[in-house]
Chains A and B, each alone.
Chain A
Amino acid sequence: MKHFIINAVLVIVSTFAIHAGLSSVGLLPALASAQGVSIDQLFGIYTWGIAFLFSLIVVVLLYSLVVFRRKKGETGDGVHMEGSSQLEIAWTVLPLIAVLYLASLGAQSLAETRRIDPSAMIVKVIAGQWYWQFQYPELGIGSGDLYLPVGAQVDLQMTSNDVTHSFFVPEFRLKQDILPGRTVDLRITPTVIGHYKVSCAQLCGSNHAYMIANVEVVSQSDFQAWVTKQLATASQNPVLHGQQLVQQFGCPVCHSTDGSKKTGPTWQHLYQSTVTLADGTKVTADEKYLSNSIIDPNLQIVSGYQPNVMPATFGQSLDAGQIQSILAYLESLK
Chain B
Amino acid sequence: MKKIISLGLVHGLFWEVIGTAFGVGFVVVVRLLMRLPAWKIEPAVVVGALFGALFFLYGVGALDDWLKWAAGEETPELDESSLGWRRYWGVSHDHKVIGIQYLTLALILFTVGGSFALIFRSELAEPGLQFLTTIEYNTLMSLHGIVMIVGILIGVSAFMNYLVPLLIGASDMAFPRLNAFSFWIAVPAGIILLSSMVLGGFDTGWTGYPPLSVRAPLGMQMFFLGVSLSSFSSILSALNLLATVIRLRTKGMTPFRLPIFVWAAIATSIISLTATQLIGLAFQMVMLERLFGMGFFDPVKGGNPVLFEHLFWFYSHPAVYVFVLPGLGIISELLPVFARKPLYGYKWVAMSSLGIALTGFLVWGHHMFAAGMAEYLREPFMYSTLLVAVPTGVKFFSWVATVWKGKISFPTPMLFVLGGIIVFLLGGLSGPPNATVSTDLLLNNTYYIVGHFHDTLFGGYVLPIFAALYYWWPKMTGRQLSEKLGKLQFWLMGPAMVVLTIGMMRIGLLGMRRRVADYDPALGFQPYHLVLTIAGFLVAVSVLVFFINVFLTSKRGERVTGNVWNSRSPEWQVPSPMPIHNYETPFEVVGEPYDYGLPGSRYVKFEGEA
> Nearest Cβ distance between residue B215 and chain A, in whole angstroms?
7
| Contact, CB under 8 Å: A78 / B400 | no
> Nearest Cβ distance between residue A39 and chain B, in whole angstroms?
5
- CA A170 to CA B446, docked complex, whole Å: 10
Is A273 an interface residue when CB atoms closer than 8 A count as contact?
Answer: no
How many interface residues does B have (CB within 8 Å)? 88
- CA A39 to CA B390, docked complex, whole Å: 24
| Contact, CB under 8 Å: A46 / B511 | no
Is B503 an interface residue when CB atoms closer than 8 A count as contact?
Answer: no
Is A208 an interface residue when CB atoms closer than 8 A count as contact?
Answer: yes
- Which residue of B is nearest A113, CB measured? B438
- Which residue of A is nearest B340, CB measured? A77
Interface residue ranges of A35-68 to B (CB < 8 Å):
36, 38-39, 42-43, 46, 49-50, 53-54, 57-58, 60-61, 64-65, 68
> Nearest Cβ distance between residue B547 and chain A, in whole angstroms?
29
- CA A196 to CA B215, docked complex, whole Å: 31
Contacts of A60 in B (CB 8 A): 400, 404
Contacts of B430 in A (CB 8 A): 50
Mask for B326-364, Cβ within 8 A of A = 1, else 0? 000000000000011110111110000000000000000
| Contact, CB under 8 Å: A177 / B371 | yes
| Contact, CB under 8 Å: B403 / A80 | no
Contacts of B429 in A (CB 8 A): 50, 53-54
- Which residue of B is nearest A97, CB measured? B390
Contacts of A5 in B (CB 8 A): none
> Nearest Cβ distance between residue B12 and chain A, in whole angstroms?
35
> Nearest Cβ distance between residue B347 and chain A, in whole angstroms?
8
> Nearest Cβ distance between residue B218 and chain A, in whole angstroms?
15
Contacts of B597 in A (CB 8 A): 76-80
Is B211 an interface residue when CB atoms closer than 8 A count as contact?
Answer: yes
> Nearest Cβ distance between residue B597 and chain A, in whole angstroms?
4
Given contacts A28-B510, A58-B425, A70-B407, A184 and B372 within 8 Å (CB-CB): yes
Is B311 an interface residue when CB atoms closer than 8 A count as contact?
Answer: no
Contacts of A163 in B (CB 8 A): 209, 211-212, 215
Contacts of B118 in A (CB 8 A): none
| Contact, CB under 8 Å: B401 / A87 | yes
Contacts of A164 in B (CB 8 A): 209, 211-212, 305
Is B433 an interface residue when CB atoms closer than 8 A count as contact?
Answer: yes
Is A1 an interface residue when CB atoms closer than 8 A count as contact?
Answer: no
- CA A222 to CA B356, docked complex, whole Å: 54
- CA A113 to CA B135, docked complex, whole Å: 36
Contacts of B394 in A (CB 8 A): 88, 91-92
| Contact, CB under 8 Å: B138 / A203 | yes
- A173's contact among B399, B442, B598, by CB below 8 Å, is which? B442
How many pairs of residues, A versus B, come closer than 8 Å at their CB atoms?
272
> Nearest Cβ distance between residue B7 and chain A, in whole angstroms?
41
Contacts of A82 in B (CB 8 A): 342, 344-346, 592, 595
| Contact, CB under 8 Å: A27 / B509 | yes
- CA A103 to CA B209, docked complex, whole Å: 29
- CA A29 to CA B512, docked complex, whole Å: 11
Given contacts A81-B341, A176-B370, A209 and B299 within 8 Å (CB-CB): no
Interface residue ranges of A154-177 to B (CB < 8 Å):
162-164, 166, 168, 170-171, 173-177
Contacts of B207 in A (CB 8 A): 203
Contacts of A321 in B (CB 8 A): none
| Contact, CB under 8 Å: A179 / B305 | yes
| Contact, CB under 8 Å: A28 / B509 | yes
Is B432 an interface residue when CB atoms closer than 8 A count as contact?
Answer: yes
Contacts of A236 in B (CB 8 A): none
- CA A36 to CA B398, docked complex, whole Å: 38
| Contact, CB under 8 Å: B383 / A100 | yes
| Contact, CB under 8 Å: B445 / A202 | yes
- Which residue of B is nearest A93, CB measured? B390
- CA A80 to CA B598, docked complex, whole Å: 6
Is A16 an interface residue when CB atoms closer than 8 A count as contact?
Answer: no
Is A259 an interface residue when CB atoms closer than 8 A count as contact?
Answer: no
Q: Of the 9-residue stretches A104-112, A248-256, A286-294, which lies at the interface with chain B?
A: A104-112
Contacts of A96 in B (CB 8 A): 387, 390
Given contacts A42-B436, A212-B520, A64 and B441 within 8 Å (CB-CB): no
| Contact, CB under 8 Å: A176 / B372 | yes
Residues of A within 8 A of B (CB): 25, 27-29, 36, 38-39, 42-43, 46, 49-50, 53-54, 57-58, 60-61, 64-65, 68-70, 74, 76-84, 87-88, 91-92, 95-96, 99-100, 102-103, 105-107, 109-110, 112-113, 162-164, 166, 168, 170-171, 173-182, 184, 197, 199-210, 212
Q: List 17 A-B contacts (CB under 8 A).
A: A39-B439, A43-B433, A65-B418, A76-B340, A78-B406, A80-B598, A81-B344, A102-B432, A110-B379, A110-B438, A162-B211, A179-B306, A179-B372, A201-B445, A203-B212, A206-B203, A208-B134
Those 5 A-B pairs whose CB atoms lie nearest each other, nearest first: A181-B299, A170-B511, A106-B436, A78-B406, A77-B597
